[in-house]
Structure formats: structure tokens, C-alpha cells
Amino acid sequence: MYDRVKISTGLLVVVLLVLIPFFYNNDASKAAPELTMPTNAKACVLPRAEMRAKHMQLLNTWRDEVVRKGDSRPVLVDGKEYPKSLQLNCMECHTSKVNFCDKCHNYSSVRPYCWDCHLAPVE
């Protein structure tokens, strides 16, 4: 037990290294971005809270159904038909990639691959 100082110092360093990400991400000054919501549409495919949380799952499901299964039938929600398409559906109302998509994705440090295939709207 003559190495108590070395062991204690090593444990302290390990604990600090493990906790650094938690302290780094606990910045209360980083408020969620204010998004410019579309004015030309009354409703989206899903309610706002669900779209914020699950829009990528919805887009991935649509991609799988259209591209991989060949099922391009529109989605019927509350009596309204929505095409399974990022550009023909979502980008009709959310016309600004910079003011809508990029704000949240940059805040969340997410790099979506949508624009690898889809054309970004002209700003």
C-alpha cells in the first residue's frame, strides 16, 4: 500500500476523463434553435412533437417502402394524401434547407445523408 498516492491520482484522472463529456454537453446557454415554420400549410404528416422526434424514422420507412419494395402509394392521414417523398412532400412547405433543416441538424451535431441523393432546395 505504498502506492496509495499514485493509485488515487490515477483513479481521479480516470473519473475526470469519464465525466468530461457530461460537463461539456451540460451547457445551458445552448438553447434549441427557433425554426421558421411554413405558413402555406396547416398540418404535417404527424403532429409537431412526433415530427421533431421521429422524422428520420418516417423518412427511412418511406425510403425503404418506395426504393426497396416499390410501394409508392401515398400515405393517408386524417383524410389527406401525402406522397412518400422528401422533395414532393416535406420540401413543398419547408422550402429553406438553411433556415429549417440545417438549424436543427447543426444544433444536434447530426450529419444526415439526405442530400447525398436529393437536391437541396434553391435558397
pLDDT digits over 83-117, tens only? 998 888 888 888 888 888 888 888 888 888 888 88
Question: Which pLDDT belongs to residue 92?
Answer: 82
Judging by beta carbons within 10 Å of its beta carbon (0-12, 13-18, 19+), is residue 85 exposed, middle or buried?
Answer: middle
The strand ranges marked E within the chain are 75-77, 80-82
Q: Provide the residue ranges of all domains of the chain, joining segments of one domain with +.
A: 48-116
pLDDT digits over 62-71, tens only? 999 999 999 9
pLDDT digits over 19-41, tens only? 988 887 776 567 778 877 777 77
Question: Which pLDDT belongs to residue 1?
Answer: 64
Question: Which pLDDT belongs to residue 13?
Answer: 96
Q: How many Cα atoms occupy the beta-carbon half-sphere of 34 within 13 Å?
A: 0
Question: Which pLDDT belongs to residue 37?
Answer: 74
Question: Average pLDDT in the 43-60 region?
Answer: 88
> Model pTM?
0.67
